[in-house]
Structure 1
Amino acid sequence: MRFEGTLTTWHDDRGFGFIEPTQGGQEIFVHIKAFPAGTGRPQVGQVLSFEVALGPNGKKRAQDVQYPVRARRLPAPRGEAPAPWTLARALIIPVFLVLVYFVAKRWGLKPYVLHVYAGASVVAFFAYVFDKSAARQKQWRTPESTLHWMGLLCGWPGALLAQQVLRHKTSKTSFIVVFWLTILVNVVGFVALHAGVDGLLMLRRLA
Protein backbone atom coordinates (compact mmCIF):
# COMPACT_ATOMS: atom_id res chain seq x y z
CA MET A 1 0.00 0.00 0.00
CA ARG A 2 1.35 3.40 -0.97
CA PHE A 3 1.13 6.58 1.04
CA GLU A 4 1.85 10.20 0.35
CA GLY A 5 3.55 12.76 2.52
CA THR A 6 5.86 15.77 2.65
CA LEU A 7 9.57 15.65 3.38
CA THR A 8 9.78 17.86 6.47
CA THR A 9 13.34 17.11 7.60
CA TRP A 10 16.44 16.19 5.58
CA HIS A 11 20.06 15.77 6.78
CA ASP A 12 21.92 15.78 3.49
CA ASP A 13 25.30 15.11 5.09
CA ARG A 14 23.95 11.95 6.71
CA GLY A 15 21.59 10.88 3.95
CA PHE A 16 18.33 10.58 5.83
CA GLY A 17 15.27 12.54 6.84
CA PHE A 18 11.62 12.27 7.88
CA ILE A 19 8.34 12.32 5.96
CA GLU A 20 5.12 13.69 7.44
CA PRO A 21 2.27 11.51 6.09
CA THR A 22 -0.61 13.42 4.47
CA GLN A 23 -3.14 11.39 6.43
CA GLY A 24 -1.44 12.27 9.73
CA GLY A 25 0.32 10.15 12.29
CA GLN A 26 3.96 9.81 13.26
CA GLU A 27 6.72 10.96 10.93
CA ILE A 28 8.34 8.21 8.83
CA PHE A 29 12.12 7.75 8.60
CA VAL A 30 13.50 7.73 5.05
CA HIS A 31 17.03 6.95 3.83
CA ILE A 32 18.62 8.24 0.64
CA LYS A 33 18.72 4.66 -0.72
CA ALA A 34 14.91 4.62 -0.79
CA PHE A 35 14.84 7.36 -3.46
CA PRO A 36 14.98 6.54 -7.20
CA ALA A 37 18.43 6.91 -8.75
CA GLY A 38 19.15 9.94 -10.89
CA THR A 39 16.51 12.23 -9.33
CA GLY A 40 18.89 14.52 -7.47
CA ARG A 41 19.16 15.18 -3.76
CA PRO A 42 15.92 15.28 -1.75
CA GLN A 43 14.72 18.71 -0.64
CA VAL A 44 12.57 19.72 2.31
CA GLY A 45 9.03 20.45 1.13
CA GLN A 46 8.92 17.82 -1.62
CA VAL A 47 5.75 15.76 -1.88
CA LEU A 48 6.55 12.05 -1.99
CA SER A 49 4.84 8.75 -2.61
CA PHE A 50 6.18 5.81 -0.62
CA GLU A 51 5.58 2.43 0.90
CA VAL A 52 6.12 1.63 4.57
CA ALA A 53 8.23 -1.21 5.91
CA LEU A 54 9.80 -2.14 9.23
CA GLY A 55 13.52 -1.49 9.59
CA PRO A 56 16.02 -3.71 11.42
CA ASN A 57 15.19 -1.91 14.67
CA GLY A 58 11.49 -2.62 14.29
CA LYS A 59 10.59 1.00 13.51
CA LYS A 60 8.70 2.17 10.43
CA ARG A 61 10.67 3.47 7.47
CA ALA A 62 9.82 4.55 3.95
CA GLN A 63 10.85 2.47 0.95
CA ASP A 64 10.37 2.67 -2.83
CA VAL A 65 10.01 6.46 -2.66
CA GLN A 66 8.64 8.12 -5.80
CA TYR A 67 7.70 11.63 -6.88
CA PRO A 68 3.99 11.79 -7.76
CA VAL A 69 3.22 13.22 -11.19
CA ARG A 70 1.33 16.14 -9.66
CA ALA A 71 4.04 16.78 -7.12
CA ARG A 72 5.90 20.04 -7.16
CA ARG A 73 8.56 21.41 -4.90
CA LEU A 74 7.00 23.34 -2.07
CA PRO A 75 8.70 26.10 -0.13
CA ALA A 76 10.23 25.02 3.15
CA PRO A 77 7.57 25.15 5.87
CA ARG A 78 7.64 28.34 7.89
CA GLY A 79 6.08 26.73 10.91
CA GLU A 80 2.68 25.58 11.99
CA ALA A 81 -0.25 27.92 12.29
CA PRO A 82 -1.06 29.03 15.85
CA ALA A 83 -3.40 26.78 17.80
CA PRO A 84 -7.05 27.89 17.92
CA TRP A 85 -7.96 29.84 21.05
CA THR A 86 -10.57 28.14 23.19
CA LEU A 87 -12.73 30.32 25.41
CA ALA A 88 -10.86 29.26 28.54
CA ARG A 89 -7.45 29.96 26.99
CA ALA A 90 -8.59 33.32 25.66
CA LEU A 91 -10.00 34.45 29.01
CA ILE A 92 -7.56 33.11 31.60
CA ILE A 93 -4.93 35.88 31.31
CA PRO A 94 -7.47 38.77 31.19
CA VAL A 95 -9.32 37.27 34.16
CA PHE A 96 -6.05 36.94 36.06
CA LEU A 97 -5.22 40.60 35.35
CA VAL A 98 -8.62 41.59 36.74
CA LEU A 99 -7.84 39.50 39.82
CA VAL A 100 -4.46 41.21 40.18
CA TYR A 101 -6.19 44.59 40.05
CA PHE A 102 -8.75 43.50 42.64
CA VAL A 103 -6.09 42.13 44.99
CA ALA A 104 -3.99 45.28 44.60
CA LYS A 105 -6.94 47.49 45.47
CA ARG A 106 -8.12 45.37 48.38
CA TRP A 107 -4.92 44.20 50.06
CA GLY A 108 -2.08 45.89 48.19
CA LEU A 109 0.28 44.20 45.74
CA LYS A 110 3.75 43.09 46.71
CA PRO A 111 6.10 45.05 44.41
CA TYR A 112 8.17 42.08 43.25
CA VAL A 113 5.28 39.83 42.24
CA LEU A 114 4.68 41.17 38.75
CA HIS A 115 8.41 41.08 38.03
CA VAL A 116 8.46 37.43 39.03
CA TYR A 117 5.55 36.61 36.72
CA ALA A 118 7.15 38.51 33.84
CA GLY A 119 10.57 36.89 34.26
CA ALA A 120 9.17 33.39 34.81
CA SER A 121 6.92 33.76 31.76
CA VAL A 122 9.84 34.70 29.52
CA VAL A 123 11.81 31.68 30.76
CA ALA A 124 8.82 29.36 30.25
CA PHE A 125 8.13 30.73 26.76
CA PHE A 126 11.67 30.03 25.56
CA ALA A 127 11.65 26.63 27.25
CA TYR A 128 8.73 25.73 25.00
CA VAL A 129 10.55 27.19 21.98
CA PHE A 130 13.57 24.99 22.64
CA ASP A 131 11.41 21.93 23.31
CA LYS A 132 9.49 22.44 20.05
CA SER A 133 12.77 22.75 18.15
CA ALA A 134 14.11 19.62 19.83
CA ALA A 135 10.97 17.72 18.88
CA ARG A 136 11.42 18.65 15.23
CA GLN A 137 15.09 17.67 15.24
CA LYS A 138 14.53 14.43 17.16
CA GLN A 139 16.83 15.64 19.94
CA TRP A 140 16.68 15.55 23.73
CA ARG A 141 13.36 16.92 25.00
CA THR A 142 12.59 18.99 28.07
CA PRO A 143 10.76 16.75 30.58
CA GLU A 144 7.07 17.55 30.93
CA SER A 145 7.51 17.80 34.69
CA THR A 146 10.00 20.64 34.16
CA LEU A 147 7.53 22.52 31.96
CA HIS A 148 4.85 22.07 34.60
CA TRP A 149 7.11 23.38 37.35
CA MET A 150 7.85 26.45 35.26
CA GLY A 151 4.13 27.06 34.92
CA LEU A 152 3.49 26.52 38.60
CA LEU A 153 6.27 28.93 39.57
CA CYS A 154 4.53 31.91 37.93
CA GLY A 155 5.53 31.12 34.34
CA TRP A 156 2.13 29.86 33.17
CA PRO A 157 1.20 33.03 31.19
CA GLY A 158 4.31 32.66 29.04
CA ALA A 159 3.77 28.91 28.76
CA LEU A 160 0.19 29.45 27.61
CA LEU A 161 1.26 31.94 24.94
CA ALA A 162 4.00 29.57 23.76
CA GLN A 163 1.55 26.68 23.50
CA GLN A 164 -0.72 28.77 21.31
CA VAL A 165 1.88 30.47 19.12
CA LEU A 166 3.97 27.32 18.60
CA ARG A 167 1.03 24.89 18.57
CA HIS A 168 2.99 22.84 21.08
CA LYS A 169 1.63 20.64 23.87
CA THR A 170 -1.96 21.56 22.97
CA SER A 171 -3.31 18.13 22.01
CA LYS A 172 -2.05 15.84 24.76
CA THR A 173 -4.94 15.62 27.24
CA SER A 174 -2.92 14.47 30.25
CA PHE A 175 -0.46 17.34 29.84
CA ILE A 176 -3.22 19.95 29.46
CA VAL A 177 -5.06 18.71 32.57
CA VAL A 178 -1.93 19.03 34.72
CA PHE A 179 -1.15 22.41 33.12
CA TRP A 180 -4.53 23.81 34.18
CA LEU A 181 -4.02 22.42 37.68
CA THR A 182 -0.71 24.31 37.92
CA ILE A 183 -2.52 27.51 36.95
CA LEU A 184 -5.16 26.92 39.61
CA VAL A 185 -2.59 26.22 42.32
CA ASN A 186 -0.54 29.23 41.30
CA VAL A 187 -3.52 31.61 41.34
CA VAL A 188 -4.63 30.32 44.75
CA GLY A 189 -1.09 30.85 46.02
CA PHE A 190 -1.08 34.39 44.57
CA VAL A 191 -4.26 35.30 46.44
CA ALA A 192 -3.10 33.62 49.65
CA LEU A 193 0.21 35.50 49.51
CA HIS A 194 -1.59 38.85 49.55
CA ALA A 195 -4.86 38.18 51.33
CA GLY A 196 -4.29 35.19 53.56
CA VAL A 197 -6.97 32.64 54.40
CA ASP A 198 -9.68 35.27 54.86
CA GLY A 199 -9.16 36.50 51.35
CA LEU A 200 -9.40 32.97 49.93
CA LEU A 201 -12.65 32.39 51.78
CA MET A 202 -14.06 35.65 50.45
CA LEU A 203 -13.11 34.79 46.86
CA ARG A 204 -14.64 31.37 47.30
CA ARG A 205 -17.92 32.97 48.33
CA LEU A 206 -17.78 35.28 45.30
CA ALA A 207 -17.18 32.31 43.03
Structure 2
Amino acid sequence: MRMKGKLVKWDTEKAFGFIAPNGGGNHIFIHKTAFSNRKRTPQLDDVITFTLSKDKQGRNCAADAMYSGEKIQVKQAKSVSKFSIYLSLLFVSAMTIASILGNVPFKLLYVYVGLSLITFTMYSFDKSKAQRGDWRTPESTLHFLSILGGWPGAAIAQQILRHKSKKKEFRFIFWITVILNVTALAWLLSSHGVHFIEIFR
Protein backbone atom coordinates (compact mmCIF):
# COMPACT_ATOMS: atom_id res chain seq x y z
CA MET A 1 0.00 0.00 0.00
CA ARG A 2 1.36 3.40 -0.97
CA MET A 3 1.39 6.30 1.47
CA LYS A 4 1.10 10.00 0.81
CA GLY A 5 2.59 13.00 2.53
CA LYS A 6 4.17 16.42 2.23
CA LEU A 7 7.90 17.21 2.16
CA VAL A 8 8.50 19.34 5.26
CA LYS A 9 12.30 19.38 5.30
CA TRP A 10 14.96 19.03 2.61
CA ASP A 11 18.75 19.37 2.75
CA THR A 12 19.89 20.01 -0.82
CA GLU A 13 23.58 19.54 -0.02
CA LYS A 14 23.09 16.16 1.71
CA ALA A 15 20.20 15.14 -0.57
CA PHE A 16 17.80 13.99 2.10
CA GLY A 17 14.78 15.23 3.98
CA PHE A 18 11.61 14.27 5.83
CA ILE A 19 8.01 13.66 4.83
CA ALA A 20 5.01 14.41 7.04
CA PRO A 21 2.53 11.60 6.30
CA ASN A 22 -1.09 12.50 5.66
CA GLY A 23 -3.08 11.61 8.75
CA GLY A 24 -0.22 12.39 11.14
CA GLY A 25 2.47 10.27 12.69
CA ASN A 26 6.27 10.45 12.80
CA HIS A 27 8.09 12.14 9.95
CA ILE A 28 9.52 9.68 7.40
CA PHE A 29 13.14 9.95 6.25
CA ILE A 30 13.68 10.13 2.49
CA HIS A 31 16.87 10.19 0.43
CA LYS A 32 17.02 11.52 -3.13
CA THR A 33 17.86 8.01 -4.39
CA ALA A 34 14.36 6.93 -3.29
CA PHE A 35 12.78 9.11 -6.00
CA SER A 36 12.04 7.55 -9.37
CA ASN A 37 12.45 11.01 -10.94
CA ARG A 38 15.90 12.15 -9.80
CA LYS A 39 16.17 14.96 -12.34
CA ARG A 40 13.71 17.05 -10.37
CA THR A 41 14.94 18.82 -7.25
CA PRO A 42 12.60 18.24 -4.28
CA GLN A 43 10.96 21.36 -2.88
CA LEU A 44 9.30 22.02 0.45
CA ASP A 45 5.55 21.29 0.40
CA ASP A 46 5.91 18.86 -2.53
CA VAL A 47 3.23 16.19 -2.24
CA ILE A 48 4.87 12.76 -2.47
CA THR A 49 3.57 9.21 -2.68
CA PHE A 50 5.83 6.42 -1.43
CA THR A 51 6.06 2.97 0.10
CA LEU A 52 7.35 2.45 3.61
CA SER A 53 10.63 0.59 3.89
CA LYS A 54 13.49 0.07 6.36
CA ASP A 55 17.10 1.19 6.20
CA LYS A 56 20.06 -0.98 7.27
CA GLN A 57 19.51 0.09 10.89
CA GLY A 58 15.87 -0.99 10.79
CA ARG A 59 14.51 2.58 10.77
CA ASN A 60 11.50 3.63 8.70
CA CYS A 61 12.29 5.36 5.43
CA ALA A 62 10.55 6.11 2.15
CA ALA A 63 11.09 4.03 -0.99
CA ASP A 64 9.71 4.09 -4.55
CA ALA A 65 8.87 7.77 -4.06
CA MET A 66 7.06 9.76 -6.71
CA TYR A 67 5.78 13.32 -6.93
CA SER A 68 2.01 13.55 -6.86
CA GLY A 69 0.57 13.34 -10.37
CA GLU A 70 3.28 11.12 -11.86
CA LYS A 71 2.10 7.87 -13.40
CA ILE A 72 3.45 5.00 -11.34
CA GLN A 73 2.10 2.23 -13.58
CA VAL A 74 3.93 3.44 -16.66
CA LYS A 75 7.24 3.88 -14.89
CA GLN A 76 7.11 0.50 -13.24
CA ALA A 77 6.26 -1.28 -16.48
CA LYS A 78 9.30 0.21 -18.20
CA SER A 79 11.63 -0.90 -15.40
CA VAL A 80 10.67 -4.59 -15.52
CA SER A 81 13.67 -6.65 -16.57
CA LYS A 82 12.48 -9.30 -19.01
CA PHE A 83 16.01 -10.69 -19.11
CA SER A 84 15.77 -11.97 -15.53
CA ILE A 85 12.40 -13.61 -16.19
CA TYR A 86 13.46 -15.19 -19.48
CA LEU A 87 16.72 -16.46 -17.98
CA SER A 88 14.86 -18.12 -15.10
CA LEU A 89 12.28 -19.74 -17.38
CA LEU A 90 14.99 -20.87 -19.79
CA PHE A 91 16.99 -22.45 -16.95
CA VAL A 92 14.01 -24.33 -15.54
CA SER A 93 13.00 -25.46 -19.04
CA ALA A 94 16.53 -26.69 -19.75
CA MET A 95 16.58 -28.59 -16.44
CA THR A 96 13.22 -30.15 -17.26
CA ILE A 97 14.36 -31.31 -20.72
CA ALA A 98 17.63 -32.63 -19.27
CA SER A 99 15.66 -34.58 -16.66
CA ILE A 100 13.38 -36.12 -19.29
CA LEU A 101 16.43 -37.15 -21.31
CA GLY A 102 17.99 -38.69 -18.21
CA ASN A 103 20.91 -36.27 -17.97
CA VAL A 104 19.71 -34.69 -14.73
CA PRO A 105 17.96 -36.52 -11.85
CA PHE A 106 14.30 -35.53 -11.46
CA LYS A 107 14.91 -35.04 -7.71
CA LEU A 108 17.39 -32.27 -8.51
CA LEU A 109 14.80 -30.59 -10.74
CA TYR A 110 12.25 -30.84 -7.93
CA VAL A 111 14.75 -29.19 -5.56
CA TYR A 112 15.14 -26.20 -7.89
CA VAL A 113 11.40 -25.85 -8.48
CA GLY A 114 10.58 -26.27 -4.79
CA LEU A 115 13.20 -23.79 -3.62
CA SER A 116 12.12 -21.32 -6.30
CA LEU A 117 8.52 -21.45 -5.08
CA ILE A 118 9.65 -21.02 -1.47
CA THR A 119 11.93 -18.10 -2.42
CA PHE A 120 9.18 -16.39 -4.44
CA THR A 121 6.87 -16.71 -1.43
CA MET A 122 9.53 -15.26 0.90
CA TYR A 123 9.92 -12.24 -1.39
CA SER A 124 6.15 -11.79 -1.38
CA PHE A 125 6.00 -11.93 2.41
CA ASP A 126 8.93 -9.53 2.73
CA LYS A 127 7.30 -6.98 0.43
CA SER A 128 4.08 -7.23 2.44
CA LYS A 129 6.07 -6.64 5.64
CA ALA A 130 7.80 -3.62 4.09
CA GLN A 131 4.47 -2.06 3.14
CA ARG A 132 3.12 -2.59 6.67
CA GLY A 133 6.33 -1.42 8.33
CA ASP A 134 6.81 -4.78 10.07
CA TRP A 135 10.10 -6.53 10.86
CA ARG A 136 11.76 -7.51 7.56
CA THR A 137 13.20 -10.78 6.33
CA PRO A 138 17.04 -10.52 6.46
CA GLU A 139 18.59 -10.07 3.04
CA SER A 140 21.08 -12.80 3.95
CA THR A 141 18.17 -15.26 4.15
CA LEU A 142 16.98 -14.36 0.66
CA HIS A 143 20.52 -14.73 -0.71
CA PHE A 144 20.94 -18.07 1.08
CA LEU A 145 17.80 -19.42 -0.59
CA SER A 146 19.08 -18.18 -3.96
CA ILE A 147 22.47 -19.86 -3.66
CA LEU A 148 20.80 -23.13 -2.64
CA GLY A 149 18.86 -23.14 -5.90
CA GLY A 150 15.92 -20.78 -5.44
CA TRP A 151 17.42 -18.04 -7.62
CA PRO A 152 14.95 -18.56 -10.54
CA GLY A 153 12.07 -17.80 -8.15
CA ALA A 154 13.98 -14.84 -6.73
CA ALA A 155 14.69 -13.38 -10.18
CA ILE A 156 11.04 -13.63 -11.17
CA ALA A 157 9.85 -12.22 -7.83
CA GLN A 158 12.14 -9.20 -8.09
CA GLN A 159 10.53 -8.21 -11.37
CA ILE A 160 6.93 -9.38 -11.01
CA LEU A 161 6.55 -8.14 -7.41
CA ARG A 162 8.85 -5.12 -7.98
CA HIS A 163 10.74 -6.01 -4.80
CA LYS A 164 14.51 -5.67 -4.30
CA SER A 165 14.81 -4.84 -7.99
CA LYS A 166 16.30 -1.35 -7.59
CA LYS A 167 18.85 -1.92 -4.81
CA LYS A 168 22.16 -2.16 -6.69
CA GLU A 169 24.06 -3.71 -3.79
CA PHE A 170 21.41 -6.39 -3.28
CA ARG A 171 21.21 -7.15 -7.01
CA PHE A 172 25.00 -7.41 -7.25
CA ILE A 173 25.15 -10.00 -4.47
CA PHE A 174 22.12 -11.78 -5.95
CA TRP A 175 23.85 -12.30 -9.30
CA ILE A 176 26.91 -13.61 -7.46
CA THR A 177 24.68 -16.25 -5.83
CA VAL A 178 23.36 -17.16 -9.29
CA ILE A 179 26.88 -17.61 -10.66
CA LEU A 180 27.96 -19.67 -7.65
CA ASN A 181 24.90 -21.90 -7.87
CA VAL A 182 25.21 -22.52 -11.60
CA THR A 183 28.95 -23.20 -11.20
CA ALA A 184 28.22 -25.72 -8.45
CA LEU A 185 25.57 -27.35 -10.65
CA ALA A 186 28.01 -27.64 -13.56
CA TRP A 187 30.57 -29.28 -11.26
CA LEU A 188 27.94 -31.63 -9.85
CA LEU A 189 26.98 -32.78 -13.34
CA SER A 190 30.62 -33.23 -14.39
CA SER A 191 32.77 -36.34 -13.88
CA HIS A 192 34.14 -34.75 -10.69
CA GLY A 193 30.72 -34.66 -9.01
CA VAL A 194 29.43 -38.02 -10.22
CA HIS A 195 29.55 -39.49 -6.71
CA PHE A 196 27.55 -36.62 -5.22
CA ILE A 197 24.89 -36.57 -7.96
CA GLU A 198 23.90 -40.07 -6.86
CA ILE A 199 22.28 -38.48 -3.80
CA PHE A 200 19.51 -37.16 -6.07
CA ARG A 201 18.87 -40.44 -7.94
Q: Distance in 1 between matches of 2:92 and 2:119?
A: 19
Higher helix proportion: 2
The CA deviation string for residues 158-192 of structure 1, in whole angstroms up to 9 with x for no partner, is 11111111111111111111111111111111122
Q: Distance in 2 between matches of 1:32 and 1:97?
A: 47
1:30 matched to 2:21? The reply is yes
TM-score, normalised via structure 1 length: 0.55
Q: Distance in 2 between matches of 1:33 and 1:85?
A: 33
Following superposition, which runs of at least 4 residues in structure 1 exceed 6 angstroms of deviation?
Answer: none
| Aligned residue pair count | 147
Q: Distance in 1 between matches of 2:110 and 2:94?
A: 16
Q: Distance in 1 between matches of 2:125 and 2:88?
A: 23
Q: Distance in 2 between matches of 1:30 and 1:190?
A: 48
Question: Cα–Cα, structure 1 residues 110 and 173, in superposed 2: closer, same or farther, change >3 Å?
Answer: same
Q: Give matches, 1:178-197, under 5 Å.
A: 178-197=173-192
1:8 pairs, out of 2, 14, 28, with 2
Tell me the residue number matched to 2:134.
Answer: 139
RMSD value over aligned CA atoms?
Answer: 4.0
Deviation at 1:142, TM superposition (A): 0.7
Q: Distance in 2 between matches of 1:115 and 1:192?
A: 19
Tell me the residue number matched to 2:198.
Answer: none
2:150 pairs, out of 144, 155, 160, with 155
Gap regions ≥5 residues in structure 2: 8-15, 26-43, 48-59, 62-67, 195-201
**Aligned partners of 2:81 and 2:159 also within 8 Å:** no
Q: Distance in 1 between matches of 2:142 and 2:169?
A: 13
TM-score, normalised via structure 2 length: 0.57
Tell me the residue number matched to 2:112.
Answer: 117
User: Which is higher, the Rg of structure 1 or of structure 2?
Assistant: 1
Identity of aligned residues (%): 31
Question: Cα–Cα, structure 1 residues 27 and 145, in superposed 2: closer, same or farther, change >3 Å?
Answer: farther
1:88 matched to 2:83? The reply is yes
Question: Cα–Cα, structure 1 residues 20 and 93, in superposed 2: closer, same or farther, change >3 Å?
Answer: farther
Question: Cα–Cα, structure 1 residues 27 and 192, in superposed 2: closer, same or farther, change >3 Å?
Answer: farther
Question: Cα–Cα, structure 1 residues 162 and 97, in superposed 2: closer, same or farther, change >3 Å?
Answer: closer
Tell me the residue number matched to 2:123.
Answer: 128
| Counterpart AA for 1:146 | T
| Counterpart AA for 1:30 | P
Deviation at 1:106, TM superposition (A): 8.3
Q: Distance in 2 between matches of 1:100 and 1:84?
A: 28
